[in-house]
Amino acid sequence: MGPIFKKKIRQPKQKRLPKAFNDDQVRDLLLRLRNPVYKACSTLIYACGLRAGEATTLEIVSIDGVNRTLRIIGKGNKERIVPVPGPILDGLRKFWKTHKNRRWLFPNQSGNGPIGRGPLGRAWAIAAREAGITGSTLHSLRHSYATRLLERRVALRIVQILLGHGSIKTTTLYTHLTEPTRASLTALLDEVMAGL
């Protein structure tokens, strides 16, 4: 046999649809996070649709309290501005008073750097396991944020900008997750397929 048969063929990479939680599930999961740093960081991820790496490395100077926005440096060193809900901003102010780190919003235990994504992800996994939720990751909070916006009929283009997606195609993945989309499609299919 020739060398052609020695070459391994890779399986095609499987794309999975993102998992999103409803609002009650998110609140339950956040309550299960015992560490206040992890809880505050996870809350911000959900409230602003951040990636875990964007949230954990957030610096104090990135917060504009007057305009209620965050300046985020995301993938590919791209900058975006995202709104912060008032109650979340108030919570962040109270949280910051517990550590008063001059640089990091979510400092590590020694205060000389930000918290790591690994420990935050492990804390999230424990909370999800306690809640009996499988197949979720910390990134599911970002998916849930996008889903909430689309359920409230925020334009897809706006959601794309808030998430920092380079392509609208990436953002369209979230449209399948919304309850109104599923409900209206189910009703339509029931009508079309009646009598089969």
Query: pLDDT at position 12, please?
Result: 61
Count of CB atoms situated within 10 Å of the CB of 9: 5
d(C-alpha 168, C-alpha 79), whole Å:
17
Which residue among 75, 93, 99, 157 is the active-site one?
75
d(C-alpha 120, C-alpha 78), whole Å:
24
* Tokens of residue 89, six digits: 């901003």
Contacts for 74-77: CB closer than 8 Å, 24+ residues apart: 74/164, 75/51, 75/164, 75/166, 76/166
Catalytic residue at 16?
no
Catalytic residue at 139?
yes
Question: What percent of the chain is helix, strand and coil (3-state, nearest 5)?
Answer: 55, 10, 35
Task: Look at residue 91 and tell me if it is in a domain.
Answer: yes
Task: Look at residue 132 and tell me if it is in a domain.
Answer: yes
Task: Look at residue 177 and tell me if it is in a domain.
Answer: no
Query: pLDDT at position 184, please?
Result: 64
Task: Look at residue 113 and tell me if it is in a domain.
Answer: yes
Catalytic residue at 6?
no
d(C-alpha 31, C-alpha 71), whole Å:
27
d(C-alpha 172, C-alpha 161), whole Å:
12
Task: Look at residue 5 and tell me if it is in a domain.
Answer: no
Name the domain count of the chain: 1
Catalytic residue at 10?
no
Task: Look at residue 56 and tell me if it is in a domain.
Answer: yes
CATH number at residue 93: 1.10.443.10
Which residue among 39, 143, 148, 165 is the active-site one?
165
d(C-alpha 17, C-alpha 30), whole Å:
23
State the helix-helix crossing angle for 117-130 and 36-48, rounded to 10 degrees: 90
* Tokens of residue 34, six digits: 């015992």
* pLDDT, one tens digit for every residue, the chain (196 residues): 555 556 666 666 655 656 788 889 999 999 999 999 999 999 999 999 999 999 999 999 999 999 999 999 888 888 899 999 999 999 999 999 999 999 999 999 999 999 999 999 999 999 999 999 887 889 999 989 988 888 888 888 888 888 888 777 777 776 665 666 666 656 766 776 676 6
Catalytic residue at 174?
yes
Give the C-alpha distances (Å, rounded to integers) separating 13 from 10, 166, 176.
Answer: 9, 21, 21
Catalytic residue at 13?
no
The beta strands (E) that lie in the chain are given as: 63-64, 69-73, 79-83
Which residue among 38, 39, 46, 51 is the active-site one?
51
Task: Look at residue 92 and tell me if it is in a domain.
Answer: yes
What kind and span of H or E run contains 94? helix 86-96
Domain containing 118: what range?
23-139
Count of CB atoms situated within 10 Å of the CB of 166: 12
